[in-house]
Chains A and B, each alone.
Chain A
C-alpha cells in the first residue's frame, strides 16, 4: 500500500508569487490533514478534511491560504500571495477513521517551502 505522497518536495518562490502544494492520501482514507512547521517552532495543525468537506480549518493562518479537496481524493494547498513568514515544511497526513481513542494519522514526507 502506497503511503501519503506530497508534491513538490521542495519549492523556492519569491515573495508575492503563488504556490500550490499537492497531497495524495492513502487510498481509502477519508480524513486528510494539513500541518506546517515554521523554522524553530512546533508542527502546527492547519485543517482537516473529511472526504471533500472541511471539518476543521481553525489552524489556517489567514485568507492567503486556500485548501481544496475536490472529489474527496487528493488535496491542494495554495498560498497566494506568498509572504516570507510562510516558509517552512508543510506536512499532509491521512487517516481512515476519527473519534477512536487514538487516531493514527499517516504523514507524508512534507513539502519544504522557501519564500525569498
Chain B
C-alpha cells in the first residue's frame, strides 16, 4: 500500500543550525510528494512539493529532492530560525488523497 515514514520528533535545534528531517515513502507508481507545515494555532500549509523524480521543491529556505532510487524526500534547511518552530508533515498524493506521515515537531531555540 501507500505510506509515508518520517523521523520521530521532537527535534530541538539552536538558531542557525542545519536541519534535516528524513522522509521515505512507499507507493505504487510515481506519486507527487509534499511537505506541509503547521505553525502553532494555524492550519496545515503546503511548504513545498515535487511532482517527479529528481525534482527539487523549495520555499522559505527549505528544500527537498524527490529521490526515486531511495524513495526519499528529506527536508533540509541550511540555517533555521525561531520562527521555523512548527510541526512538519511529509506526504504524498495518491488518487486525490493526501497520505501523511506522523509529523515531526521542530523546536528552535534562540
Contact = CB atoms under 8 A, between A and B. Distances in A.
Interface residues of A, number: 29
Contacts of A104: 46, 49
A87 interface: no
Q: Which secondary structure dominates where chain A touches chain B?
A: loop
Contacts of B32: 101-103
Nearest to B6: A42
Contact of B89 (A43, A101, A109): A43
Contacts, number: 62
Contact of A107 (B41, B45, B52, B96): B45
A40 B95 CA distance: 25
B110 interface: no
B44 interface: yes
Contact of A98 (B52, B96, B99): B96
Given A45-B97, A48-B97, A102-B51, A91 B46 contact: no
A42 B43 CA distance: 15
Interface of A: 3-4, 31, 33, 35, 40-45, 48, 55-56, 59, 91, 93, 98-99, 101-110
